[in-house]
Amino acid sequence: MDNISRLKSIDESYCSLWKSRYENTAPTLDKAKELLDDARKVVYEKGIAYSQLIIAACSFLFSRNEEAQENLSDAYQWFINNTSEPGYICALTLKSNIYESFGDYENALQFCFEAYNLATERKDSDLEAEALSQLGLIYTRLGNFEKALEYYNEGLKIREEIKDENGIASSLNRIGMIMRLTKKYDESLDYYRKSLELRRKNDQITSIPWTMLGIASTCEDMKKTDEALDYYHQGIIGADKRCTLQCMMGIGRIYNLLGKQDLAQEKLTESLEMALSLNAQSLVAEAYAALANHYESAGQEKKALDSFKLYLQTMESVKSDEVQTRFRNIEISHAIEKSEKEKEIFRLRNVELKQAYEIIEERNIEITASINYASRIQKAILPKTSEIKGLSERVFIFYKPKDIISGDFYWFKKAGRKLIICAGDCTGHGVPGALMSMLGISFLEEIVNHRKISNSAHILNELRKEVQRALHQKGIRDEAKDGMDISLCVIDNSHKVIQYSGANNNLYMVRNGELTEYMADRMPVGIYDVVDSEFKAHEIPYMPGDMIYMYSDGYADQFGGPNHKKFKSSELKSILTQYYSYPLAQQKETLEKRFLEWKGDLQQIDDVLVMGMKM
């Protein structure tokens, strides 16, 4: 065969080999190695990269992690210089797969979002569905089952549209896992059986064990031990190392329930050793938890405690507050990038005026869907009063975005014996304001949780630095002046003192029917003309029964009434003074009722936030 024929053979073989990696893993691996030899003989770099990519994918499926990483690393060096190749997206997704298997969910998420963005941009449905499925798996590992299910269903819809039966089976299998984890056992079994039917129909020999594992796990959760044990044993047949160790772990748990302690310890210990050899942190943690339960049942309290400590230590590495904050930053960056791309696409499509109406209608639907997606992210990031003991009974929040998403935000956090609570108003509203608000919350988490700063003025000074750094604000002429106004309180219940600092947003306190207004510094959190000016902290003693109020300017600035004028802060103060002693729910209801009555049929002009706290 001449060189040209060899090159053509390599290129034609890639696509079919990549698709066959699941159902015919061993033959695919052998063929890819043959192609690699051919490509090297003629020094065909593209063919070398694609062959190594397929070898890496097949090696990963066989749990040969070292071989997978070595080949992917070599292939990736070529793809990062040839990013227009479809194999680049495949390489990104495979990197995400490998990081996920190690329990490094931060890197897994980063690479997967990049793969998803590119696949969506290039309208590659197959790779888009693959990335969505991987995103679902990462969020499953993180315990965010609602978000995982969204990604799985979106991927399933695409696979059904392109009639990818192997992909459909995979999606059904993973949705079955979510149903099991959310205790919807009958639905779980339905999804698994549909997946099994497709996999048997298409002879997906290497994938069938994963479905057996899913059915076994569901039966175990349903206390059907005999059925679970049978399916776990079936799952080991023809399985790769990851599936095998999970089946063995399940068998060990069942033996423990049946009182077969020696057999249980043997299986659980072996599964732990396999998980450690794969460096699969989530499976290592699961194995330690199973061993802790086994040792406790066997009356070996010290070994049970040691195993449980190792379980907690392993889980901390993937689910700590610090790691969760970084995950949120990745999500926010993804949302910003997606928003900017959609905005540019919308601008370009409007060039063709004849089709303007159809394009606007189509883009409105897509942009609204994107904004609704951003709204889900924003709601997930905003804290819940139930997260802090006793806070629900002491706080009300009247929060009314102008659009689907808001530039106003609230945030609170326990810092030792102190409670930190704030209300913020970012530049703009809608998408720009919401992105700023999510960055604000993320920065506050970093400043309070990890830098351990609990002085109100220092928090705002640090927050301003982060905002200026993120927005590249240097104080030059004509620079964007984006930022936020904010009121922030650090409440020290042991000394009955509120430490307050504000950026343009004042603080109200009502005591015995009298309202006192504490003035904020007249500067924003962001770039400011007086560069060296720092925020001040006010020490405010409080008494039980006092009410403090933090707010954005949206309420007082709303136009309405008989003459279509602003509501004004004086009227807001009047309401707060009149109703401060009422139950919190009634205060919130009154504020909302008066706002809607005043606004009438006029458009809401800004986001609205009023937060009250009883001391």
Greatest C-alpha distance within the chain: 95
344 pLDDT band, cuts 50/70/90, is very low
Provide the sign of the torsion angle of the four alpha carbons 40, 41, 47, 52, taken in this order: negative
219 pLDDT band, cuts 50/70/90, is very high
Task: Give the pLDDT confidence score for residue 322 in this predicted structure.
Answer: 42
CATH number at 486 reads: 3.60.40.10
465-480 CB burial, b ≥16 within 10 A, e <16: ebbbeebebeeeeeee
Phi, psi of 548 (to 5 degrees): -115, 150
Instruction: Name the helix (H) or strand (E) containing 408.
Output: strand 408-415
In angstroms, the CA 182 to CA 177 distance is: 9
Q: What is the pLDDT of residues 477-505, one digit of tens each?
A: 555 567 889 999 999 998 999 999 999 99
- Residue 37 and residue 1 in contact, taking contact as beta carbons nearer than 8 Å: no
In angstroms, the CA 501 to CA 505 distance is: 9
370 pLDDT band, cuts 50/70/90, is low
Asked if residue 110 has pLDDT above 50, the reply is yes
Asked if residue 345 has pLDDT above 60, the reply is no
Among 34, 50, 82, the domain-final residue is 82
Which has the higher per-residue pLDDT, 584 or 323? 584
- Nearest Cα neighbor of 405 from 354, 351, 339 is 339
Task: Give the pLDDT confidence score for residue 321 in this predicted structure.
Answer: 44
- Nearest Cα neighbor of 615 from 586, 580, 575 is 580
Task: Give the pLDDT confidence score for residue 571 in this predicted structure.
Answer: 93
Helices 105-121 and 125-141: angle between axes, nearest 10 degrees = 160
- Nearest Cα neighbor of 154 from 141, 166, 167, 144 is 167
With respect to residue 434, please indicate whether it lies within any of the assigned structural domains: yes
Q: What is the mean pLDDT of residues 2-9?
A: 51
Task: Give the pLDDT confidence score for residue 325 in this predicted structure.
Answer: 46
With respect to residue 474, please indicate whether it lies within any of the assigned structural domains: yes
User: How many domains does the structure of the chain reveal?
Assistant: 2
Task: Give the pLDDT confidence score for residue 6 in this predicted structure.
Answer: 52
Which has the higher per-residue pLDDT, 199 or 143? 199
Give me the domain span that covers residue 480: 384-614
530 pLDDT band, cuts 50/70/90, is low
In angstroms, the CA 16 to CA 23 distance is: 12
What is the CB-side half-sphere exposure of residue 417 using CA atoms within 13 A? 6
With respect to residue 558, please indicate whether it lies within any of the assigned structural domains: yes
Q: What is the mean pLDDT of residues 96-100?
A: 85
With respect to residue 235, please indicate whether it lies within any of the assigned structural domains: no
Q: What is the DSSP string of 598-611?
A: HHTTSPP-S-EEEE
In angstroms, the CA 16 to CA 8 distance is: 14
The CA-atom distances, in angstroms, between 18 and each of 57, 96, 280, 457, 465 are: 8, 17, 25, 57, 48
Q: What is the DSSP string of 95-110?
A: HHHHHHHHT-HHHHHH
Q: What is the pLDDT of residues 125-176, one digit of tens each?
A: 989 999 999 999 888 888 888 989 999 999 999 999 999 998 899 999 999 9
- Residue 106 and residue 327 in contact, taking contact as beta carbons nearer than 8 Å: yes
- Amino acid sitting at position 445: E
The CA-atom distances, in angstroms, between 308 and each of 200, 287, 320, 460, 553 are: 39, 10, 17, 40, 51
In angstroms, the CA 96 to CA 72 distance is: 12
Phi, psi of 566 (to 5 degrees): -70, 150
Which tokens belong to 602? 């006029």
Q: What is the DSSP string of 430-454?
A: HHHHHHHHHHHHHHHHIIIIIS---
Of 350-354, 373-377, 468-472, 526-530, give the lowest mean pLDDT range: 350-354
Among 82, 99, 119, the domain-final residue is 82
- Number of H helices and number of E strands within the chain? 22, 13
Q: What is the pTM of this model?
A: 0.50
Instruction: Name the helix (H) or strand (E) containing 234.
Output: helix 225-236
Q: State the Cα angle at 232 between 231 and 235, rounded to 5°.
A: 85
Asked if residue 469 has pLDDT above 60, the reply is yes
In angstroms, the CA 294 to CA 572 distance is: 61
- Nearest Cα neighbor of 529 from 576, 483, 598, 585 is 483
Q: What is the mean pLDDT of residues 236-259?
A: 88
Task: Give the pLDDT confidence score for residue 573 in this predicted structure.
Answer: 94
- Amino acid sitting at position 358: E
Q: What is the mean pLDDT of residues 301-320?
A: 70
Among 34, 61, 82, the domain-final residue is 82
Instruction: Name the helix (H) or strand (E) containing 89.
Output: helix 86-102
Contacts of residue 445, Cβ cutoff 8 Å, sequence gap at least 6: 321, 325, 328, 413
Task: Give the pLDDT confidence score for residue 103 in this predicted structure.
Answer: 73
Of 177-191, 318-332, 433-447, 563-577, give the lowest mean pLDDT range: 318-332
Task: Give the pLDDT confidence score for residue 455 in this predicted structure.
Answer: 93
1 pLDDT band, cuts 50/70/90, is very low
With respect to residue 540, please indicate whether it lies within any of the assigned structural domains: yes
Asked if residue 568 has pLDDT above 60, the reply is yes
| Rounded percentage of the chain residues whose pLDDT exceeds 90 | 35
In angstroms, the CA 217 to CA 211 distance is: 10
With respect to residue 423, please indicate whether it lies within any of the assigned structural domains: yes
Which has the higher per-residue pLDDT, 81 or 141? 81
In angstroms, the CA 154 to CA 160 distance is: 10
Which has the higher per-residue pLDDT, 15 or 174? 174
With respect to residue 62, please indicate whether it lies within any of the assigned structural domains: yes
| Rounded percentage of the chain residues whose pLDDT exceeds 70 | 85
10 pLDDT band, cuts 50/70/90, is low
With respect to residue 468, please indicate whether it lies within any of the assigned structural domains: yes
Contacts of residue 366, Cβ cutoff 8 Å, sequence gap at least 6: 342
Of 201-215, 299-313, 351-365, give the lowest mean pLDDT range: 351-365
The strand ranges marked E within 176-231 are none
- Nearest Cα neighbor of 96 from 85, 84, 81, 112 is 112
The mean pLDDT value of the chain amounts to 83
Q: Where are the alpha helices (DSSP H) in 279-423?
A: 281-297, 301-319, 321-349, 356-381
Q: Which of 133-142, 326-335, 339-348, 456-465 holds the top average pLDDT?
A: 456-465
- Residue 235 and residue 247 in contact, taking contact as beta carbons nearer than 8 Å: yes
SS3 530: coil
Q: What is the mean pLDDT of residues 587-610?
A: 91
Which has the higher per-residue pLDDT, 144 or 420? 420
556 pLDDT band, cuts 50/70/90, is very high
Contacts of residue 188, Cβ cutoff 8 Å, sequence gap at least 6: 176, 177, 179, 180, 214, 218
